[in-house]
Each structure stands twice: as C-alpha cells, then as structure tokens.
C-alpha cells in the first residue's frame, strides 16, 4: 500500500467520525497520521542481528548486568492506542557481553510494532537469550495503557507489570530476588 492510499483511508476514517478532512485544522492530517504510524511501527523494518551488529564480545565478566528505566512507547494491537512505561533488563554473562546501548535498541525494535505488553516482554528476553546465550535473562516492563485509561474501565492510575525470566533468573530464587531488589531500589535522589 502506498502512502497516498493510506492517506485516503485516514480521510475516510475522519469522515466516518463526522469530521470534514478539508477543514483548516485537518488539512494535511491524513498524511501526518500515516507518517506518524510509519514511525510508531518502524520496528518491523529492523531485526536484532542488524541492531546488535557485532557488538557482542567475549569477556570473563560473570556478575549481573542491569540496564533499568529504559523508556518504552508502543501501540496496543487491540485498539491502536499507546502504552508506555519502562523496561528493566538484566543478564548474567556466560563468556559474552553486549554493548549496553544495544539493550534499549532491542527494546525499541519490538516496542515499535503493534504489541501486547506480554509479548513485548517475552520478545526482548528471547532476543537477548538468543544473542548471548547467557546464564540467565530477566526482563520487567511496567506500563500504563491508554486503552485502560481513556476508554473501557477508565482507570487512570493503573499500571501493568510483566516479567519474563530465563535460565538462573527462573531457576534460582536468590538471583531473581536480587534482580527485583536492584530494579526497585531507588537512589538517594529518589530516582
């Protein structure tokens, strides 16, 4: 489908809603919506191998690595409404580490697709497990869903928490508890 054709679909949607796509405030809106959706779903154009791009290295480091508070923005596949929050990722290397900036990029690949939070959490864990074959991987995402806040039950303060654990994060309660404690520990400045 071409951008122009998608723009015509948005014009039809505006008419369906009772709007006039030719009025001043809506002129150009169909094209903006199409460009916006292309940006919000750009994850389909990328894969993990391309993002990692050789940035997994042999190393003897063997303790937990955590990158927390990674901003997540995605679209709910059921309503095409945003959900947003933070992801926390941990892994325990088994001879290989990954460039830290690659973790938020892996999150972005999967978040920039039509999603459900549960699948997003699992896809991130699976990707890191596949790339590194670590001793374990843990992913936690906490997000607010506009489909719950703006429509339906309209619960503005609700948050959804999902986790996906692999290896020692699944089999060793102490490792899992350490991850949870480190993710939820706040610094002295309150962040």
Give, in degrees to the nearest 5, the angle at Cα 130 between 127 and 135.
Answer: 110
Q: What gap in Å lies between CA 20 and CA 22, rounded to an integer?
A: 5
From 78, 118, 173, 184, active-site residue: 78
From 38, 77, 173, 184, active-site residue: 77
From 88, 123, 142, 145, active-site residue: 145
Give me 54's structure tokens: 């050789």
Establish whether 77 is a catalytic residue.
yes
From 11, 88, 108, 117, active-site residue: 117
From 76, 108, 115, 123, active-site residue: 76
Establish whether 76 is a catalytic residue.
yes
Give me 57's structure tokens: 């290295």
Q: CB-hemisphere CA count at 13 Å for 40? A: 18
Establish whether 178 is a catalytic residue.
no
From 19, 31, 46, 79, active-site residue: 79
**Pairing relationship of beta strands 114-115 and 136-145 according to DSSP bridges:** unpaired
> 144: how many CB neighbours lie within 10 A of its CB?
16
Establish whether 46 is a catalytic residue.
no
Establish whether 181 is a catalytic residue.
no
User: Contact at 8 Å (CB) between 137 and 167?
Assistant: yes
Contacts of residue 95, defined as CB under 8 A and 6 or more positions apart, other chains included, come to 58, 59, 60
66 alpha carbon, distance to own chain's centre: 16
Establish whether 142 is a catalytic residue.
no
Catalytic residue set? 76-79, 117, 145, 147
């Amino acid at each position: 489908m071409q951008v122009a054709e998608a723009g015509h679909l948005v014009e039809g949607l505006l008419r369906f809603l009772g709007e006039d796509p030719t009025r001043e405030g809506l002129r150009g809106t169909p094209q903006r919506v199409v460009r916006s959706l292309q940006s919000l779903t750009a994850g389909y154009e990328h894969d993990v191998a391309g993002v990692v791009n050789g940035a997994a290295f042999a190393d003897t480091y063997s303790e937990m690595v955590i990158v927390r508070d990674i901003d997540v923005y995605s679209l709910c596949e059921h309503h095409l409404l945003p959900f947003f929050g933070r992801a926390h990722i941990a892994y325990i290397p088994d001879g290989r580490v990954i460039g830290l900036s690659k973790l938020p990029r892996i999150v972005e690949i999967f978040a920039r697709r039509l999603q459900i939070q549960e699948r997003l959490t699992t896809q991130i864990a699976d990707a890191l497990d596949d790339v590194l074959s670590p001793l374990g991987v843990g992913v936690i995402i906490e997000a607010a869903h506009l489909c719950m806040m703006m429509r339906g039950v309209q619960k503005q303060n609700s948050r959804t928490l999902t986790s996906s654990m692999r290896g020692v994060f699944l089999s060793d309660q102490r490792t899992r508890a350490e991850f949870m404690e480190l993710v939820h520990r706040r610094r002295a400045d309150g962040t």
